[in-house]
Amino acid sequence: MAICMKCKEQVADGADCCLCKSSFRFHCAGISEAGYRRQGDRRLTWRCSRCKQGQVHGKSPTQAPDVKSSGVVEGDQEITLAQLMKEIKDISVKLNPLDAIEADIKLLKENMAQLQKANVQTSNTVQELSKKILNIESRVSIVEKQKEKIVSLHQKVESLETQI
């Protein structure tokens, strides 16, 4: 079983980067499981966010020079351009799952609309069946009353036959 490159948890089923060969849990990779599965053969060319940005997990092939930014001070420390760029990239990586979440929400909305439509159809069908059942119950009641009359008439006929 592989270990997720981002959260360091075990990955039973996840996305595998074709470049760095790292494994990721779907959530950590910023892709939904359904979205990943829909890619079909394109999964073989899926790249993690770091490889897409040209980094090899923590090491950029072209490191920015350690240039001091003018006037950006945090506490007693001046923030370098490289640190700022790293923070921006980290935020970008954290925001990657939002696209997959947005697609999942759209899919959920579509599914909800279909369920509501099916619910209305089912409700209409249940109402129709209820009316039919009431009609059948009414007819059965009439038949039962007729049966009682027939039994009573049959007894009268037998009584008359014995008198004759």
Is residue 70 over pLDDT 50?
no
Judged by DSSP in three states, 2 sits in strand
Does the pLDDT at position 60 exceed 80? Answer: no
Condensed to tens digits (0 to 9), the pLDDT of residues 117-127 reads: 999 999 999 99
pLDDT at 156 over 90: yes
Residue-wise pLDDT tens digits, 40-58: 888 888 898 888 887 555 4
Task: Please say whether the beta carbons of 17 and 46 come within 8 A.
Answer: yes
Model pTM? Answer: 0.36
Structure tokens at 28: 């950590």
The DSSP bridge partners found for residue 83 are none
Burial class (CB in 10 A: 0-12, 13-18, 19+), 160: exposed
Q: Distance (Å, rounded) from C-alpha 96 to C-alpha 2?
A: 22
